[in-house]
Structure 1
Amino acid sequence: MMGAAQIHPTALVAPGAVLGEDVAVGPYSIIGEHVRIGARTRIGPHCAIDGHTVIGPDNHFYRYCSIGGIPQDKKYAGEPTALEIGAGNTFREFVTVNTGTVQDAGTTRLGDDNWIMAYVHIAHDCQLGDHIVISNGVQLGGHIHIGDWAILGGLSAVHQFVRIGAHAMIGGTSSVRQDVPPYMIGAGDSFRPVGINAEGLGRRGFTPADVQVLKDAYKILYRRQLSVEQAIEALAVLQAEHPGEAPAVQTLLDFLRASSRGIARP
């Protein structure tokens, strides 16, 4: 250990753990020997952080979090897989985040400034970006990818290998079984998109012209009865017609071209 970490007398910190300056470890928490924790991170009471886990600075783990546990995968055979967490994230009560598996990248990753509410489960090999909000009780299966600024409503469940695009908004109690393209808003069992997350996009600096072009893109994707391949061709034409809004459309095109599960439909 190094720096001026503040460790409660009842906490157990393994000799090999590395704690940055001003890290605080609360009562009865346990830190494993392969854990590295960045400066100013706060760990509440009764947390367990183990595995090959690297945590950046300025994170906050509330009470009873379980971070870096082994994958809930019967194929796991004790390989030294990992978990990487960026900076400035908040993990509320009873959040669980597992390490990766050798069948995928081997590492579960979370970016920066994510807000993870109580009782959320983030399974092995998930890849989460930045500024994501995951509400209470959301359950993420393995190998899920979630883009920046996405919002997942409470008690929703996401099937393994699903991808959720940037700025998408998933309503509460949804069951997400196929990929959700960027910018979409919707809900349901199973999840059904109903439009573009226009209000959220405006808050994040998208121009009215961006939002209008993305509304047109939604109509191409969902209102014209096109296949994904046909929609991609039509979206490329839309992008060429609106060069000022091309980056926003490109994000949607890149997502559709990479989708392997198929996209959620109304």
Structure 2
Amino acid sequence: MPVLRFLFWILVGWQGALLIWLVKLLPWWVFFGLAYFSFSQAGPEYNKYQAAMGEVVADTEPPRAPLALIENFDPTRDLGPADELLVLAKWSKDLPIIEFDGASILDFTVVPLLSTTEDWVVGLAFASKADREQLVQHMRANLQAGGGVRLHGRYKNVPFTTQRIQTEMQVWRARFNRLGYQVAQDLVIVRPYLEGRHSELARSAEAFRFWTFVLLASAGLWLVLGTFKLIGFLHSSNTKRRSRVL
């Protein structure tokens, strides 16, 4: 028996073993609480999905964000609906393309964006590492005379905190300085619409639907586990009561 238990822990890994241990340890009411929390979060996610689908259906209009020079961009003034933005920056092919390495879906390719008037890196254009070539082609396709590039996309639509971005950029700061560029403290983060606005809006809507499903499924799972734990608790209580009577 101890050997089988040891093999089981190896097979499921420490994460699975920890989850099983918590399921056995936690009382039934905790699972009902988790079920309520997951279900309560599913509603807002579904509302976001409906709003996003409304954006997809109504996508017959030009960008609804005002065009702003990237060095003058102000999110309180220049953002459109759903954090949409439209900025004019400069891009130099001499600038290195950066890789932000993370766990699978957190791997990103980053293109530095320059001020239109000075040799300062004032923004970053993001895409997943799998879309590296598509991002570079998108930059080249939007390149104008004089190095200007017009980018339409979402503002800060990346799973990184400002602190993480500053930490990553600190590694590259010396290299940019050697190339004659300074790096601004506050960077404008752009997630360009690589496949057009309609496709990106549809993808965003599907993401909201996916998380709605995940939250509902987790609510159902917690409810089932809580029910089993409650049945076990009642059975144990009845058994103890009978033993005291006897």
Task: Flag the structure with higher strand content.
Answer: 1
- Structure with larger Rg: 2
Same fold, TM exceeding 0.5?
no
Q: TM-score w.r.t. structure 1 length?
A: 0.20
Q: TM-score w.r.t. structure 2 length?
A: 0.22
